[in-house]
Amino acid sequence: MATLRILLLTLLACLLLPASALAKDKLTAREILDKVDDTYRGRSARGQMRMKVVNPNYKRELVMDFWSHGKEKSLVRIVEPKKERRTATLKNGNNIWNYLPKVNRTIKIPSSMMGGSWMGSDFTNDDLVKEHRMADDYAPKITFDGSRGGQKVIEITCTPKPNAPVVWGKLVVTVRAQDYLPVRIDYHKERGGLARRLTFSNYEQLGGRLVPTTMTMIPRDKPGHSTVVTYEKLTFDVSLPANLFTVASLRSGR
């Protein structure tokens, strides 16, 4: 009887609990997009990454050190190969500068070249300066929540908000259901059709945080082109010099 009484009391307590107490609340589409935006972002960060660029004409591999402060400031400097060492890119707000040590020149990237290739890769200069969060520029909606390829995922379709300063007609963001880490982002043209796909893989602990350590960008209109970025070192919320994100620091190589 005592056992039965305990079971009945437990059942009654469960019936009186709100649904949120019985199961983990799912995030909204906007909250998931914010998590995707913050995957590699902290108050500050530094690390090292390897970028492999492949196209029908050549293959290129770079090792780069990088530093960032929030979403407004970043500095990327090539350390390998030796012939390109100290070539660097500085982002401060909406402005980008490239430093070319061979000719000792600093070049500010004009707005007309923002759609151009960054470091010869399939990423653009515009990708580097994006400061807005996806949920600020796009209206997100969960369009799939279930299993695909043996993995539970959530798909969010994002359509541009009126007058949003974006170049894409639609984004489709896919995340892992258990932790909302990104799996894939599909970028669609304004008139429809997939323009490029960014996939995330190799989820590991870096800097005390679980992150996808590999990103692969494949443009759909350029057969044989791909860019793979692998994070080899990553530390969050580090102390950085106040003058790091300046043109003088860009040129100094220190």
Inter-CA distances, 27 with 19, 179, 229, 239, Å: 14, 10, 29, 32
Find where tokens 């793979």 sit: 228
- Flag whether 11 is in a domain: no
Beta strand residue intervals within 28-129, DSSP E:
44-54, 59-69, 73-80, 88-92, 95-100, 105-108
42 within domain boundaries: yes
Q: What is the mean pLDDT of residues 131-159?
A: 92
CA angle 195, 91, 186 (to 5 degrees): 20
Given this model, what pLDDT does residue 25 score? 67
Average pLDDT rounded to a whole number, residues 224-230: 96
Query: Which residues neighbour 25 within 8 Å (Cβ) at sequence distance 6 or greater?
Result: none
pLDDT for 72 beyond 70: yes
Q: Assess whether pLDDT exceeds 50 at residue 5.
A: no
pLDDT at 85 over 70: yes
Of the listed ranges 9-13, 181-185, 200-204, the least confidently predicted one is 9-13
Is residue 208 predicted with pLDDT exceeding 50? yes
Instruction: Using a pLDDT cut of 90, give the percent of the chain over it.
Output: 66
> For residue 168, what are the domain limits?
26-252
Residue 19 belongs to a domain: no
Q: How many domains does the chain have?
A: 1
**Has residue 19 got a pLDDT over 60?**
no
In the predicted structure, residue 40 carries a pLDDT above the cut 80: yes
What is the predicted pLDDT for the residue at 10? 37
pLDDT value for 127: 80
The mean pLDDT of 209-229, rounded to a whole number, is 95
Q: Is residue 234 part of a domain?
A: yes
- Reading phi first (left if > 0) and then psi (alpha if -120 to 50, else beta), residue 167 is in alpha
Task: Return the amino acid letter for 54.
Answer: V
Q: What is the mean predicted confidence (pLDDT) over 94-107?
A: 91
For residue 131, the model assigns a pLDDT of 61
Q: Is it the case that residue 42 has pLDDT exceeding 90?
A: no
Report residue 209 CA to chain centroid gap. 14
Helices (H), the chain: 2-16, 19-22, 29-37, 125-129, 134-137, 247-252
The closest of 114, 101, 120 to 52, measured between CA atoms, is 120
In a domain, 69, yes or no: yes
Task: Provide the pLDDT confidence category of residue 251 given band limits of 50, 70 and 90.
Answer: confident
> Among the listed ranges 5-9, 107-111, 130-134, 196-200, which one has the minimum average pLDDT value?
5-9
Confidence (pLDDT) at 1:
46
The pLDDT, as a whole number, for residue 3 is: 42
Mean pLDDT value across residues 22-31: 74
Residue 102, domain CATH: 2.50.20.10
The pLDDT, as a whole number, for residue 18 is 41
The secondary structure of residue 122, as a DSSP letter, is: S
Residue 1 lies in a domain: no
| Domain membership flag for residue 230 | yes
pLDDT of residue 14: 37
Q: Could you tell me the CA-to-CA distances from 181 to 32, 36, 131, 176 in Å, in that order?
A: 9, 6, 20, 5
Residue 164 has pLDDT above 60, yes or no: yes
- Whether 15 is in a domain gets the answer no
